[in-house]
Amino acid sequence: MNSDALTLIDEWGPEKIVCVSDQKTGMRGVLVLDNTARGMGKGGTRMSPNLTVEEVSRLARTMTWKWAAVDLFHGGAKAGILGDPNDPNKEAILRAFARALANEVPSEYVFGLDMGLTEGDSAIFLDELGDRGAAVGLPRALGGLPYDELGVTGFGVAEAADAAAATIGLEISGARVVIQGFGAVGQAAAERLIELGAEIVGVSTSVGALHDPDGLDIARLVELRAGAGDNCVREYGRTHLPADDILAVDTDILVPAAREDVIGAEVAAATKARLVVEGANMPTTREAREVLSRRGIAVVPDFIANAGGVVAAAHSMNARYSAFAIDPSAVFAMVSDKLRANTVRVLSDSLKFNVAPHEAARALAQKRVFDAMVLRGQHPRLDSARTDSAPTDTARVS
């Protein structure tokens, strides 16, 4: 996880980077509190064999913008563990990680779920620290709101895609959709998009991809995924493609819902999609976004499109010490309302001010964070005039 932390600091943060380790279990992890001007740090926790401090810092920055964009009062933060999510020693590693961050959790940060962790892992964090406020994304049996089971984030991605399509004059009924990354988010997005009338013509997992211009049988694929995981694309029964080939499939809407930086300039120049909806965090590079902008391809930025998870987390945070169960219908309603409104606003501001959608989205979030920093006397090195002017991309987030 080598990284020069000083190079990651700018006028927005991060406020704190905590690196931890445990010799007995081999645990190595990091917590990044990016900006807490609007509230305590909240973000997912991931486990990956290739984790870096820089990666977690970039994700924490995305969380800062994500919370501000949906106008909910938590701050940007992220945590990560360097390791294999399938390690047979995973529980011991998670417990060591939780103990190492006992000073920060839950007073400054609350564990959430990201790549490599499940609701059961969230329960382990809670058990280790003995505080119900230590984690969200808990199983139903512990009074939690299981994000993956309910598909909250993917539902929000689909709602954002529908709102964006209407904004650019693309009819969602019959629109062809390709989803890169048929995991929890991709599956939920596919199911909701089908309800909205779209056709899923391509999906991919880590082991391969499927393409059918006449539409895939998503119900069957979901059933296969329940038993075979990422191998569902092989079990589907048709010739499958190499995973990366999915980005070149002819489509109207492209939904990258896997990992960061998967769409570079070359893919951006070749895609036939009219709309890109970022289901994953940071799936497009800066160069790709420039190419997409020049080509007039609409983009719904990640911290706008996939913010359904933070809306659910906010409900979970409010219910941490309550004896009453969370009402999923209220969560889905808020996700739909906030993500649709933000999508329309960002795409409209992009046209109004002649800037890329990411710049318009960051301007929306930055003003809210800036105002909070000023009110708290944090005196950022920023020109306050920018908050009253056209959107400007000032944050170094990629």
pLDDT tens readout for residues 304-350: 999 999 999 998 888 766 666 778 899 999 999 999 999 999 999 99
Looking at residue 381, what is its pLDDT? Answer: 59
> To the nearest whole number, what is the mean pLDDT of the chain?
91
Write out pLDDT tens, residues 276-291. Answer: 999 999 999 999 999 9
Looking at residue 394, what is its pLDDT? Answer: 38
Listed in order, the ranges of the chain carrying CATH 3.40.50.10860 are 5-146
Looking at residue 4, what is its pLDDT? Answer: 63
CA atoms within 13 A on the CB side of 330: 8
Write out pLDDT tens, residues 13-39. Answer: 999 999 999 999 999 999 999 999 999
* C-alpha–C-alpha distance, residues 50 and 194, integer Å: 34
**Band of residue 237 on the pLDDT scale cut at 50, 70, 90:** confident
User: Cis (ω within 30 of 0) for the bond into 106?
Assistant: yes
Looking at residue 384, what is its pLDDT? Answer: 47
CATH topology classification for 152-305: Rossmann fold (3.40.50)
Q: In this model, does residue 203 exceed pLDDT 80?
A: yes
**Band of residue 5 on the pLDDT scale cut at 50, 70, 90:** low
* C-alpha–C-alpha distance, residues 274 and 276, integer Å: 7
Q: Which residue has the tokens 């445990």?
A: 22
CATH superfamily, domain 5-146, is Leucine Dehydrogenase, chain A, domain 1 (3.40.50.10860)
The full DSSP string for 234-299 is: HHTSS--B-GGGGGGS--SEEEE-S-TT-B-HHHHHH---SEEE--SSS-B-HHHHHHHHHTT-EE
Residue length of the chain: 398
CA-based torsion, 349, 353, 358, 359: positive or negative: negative
Q: In this model, does residue 273 exceed pLDDT 70?
A: yes
Q: Which two tokens stand for residue 56?
A: 């977690």
Looking at residue 321, what is its pLDDT? Answer: 62
Listed in order, the ranges of the chain carrying CATH 3.40.50.720 are 152-305
Query: Rounded to two decimals, what is the model's pTM?
Result: 0.89
Q: Does the active-site annotation cover 90? A: no
Catalytic residue among 16, 24, 66, 78: 78
Q: Which amino acid is at 89?
A: N
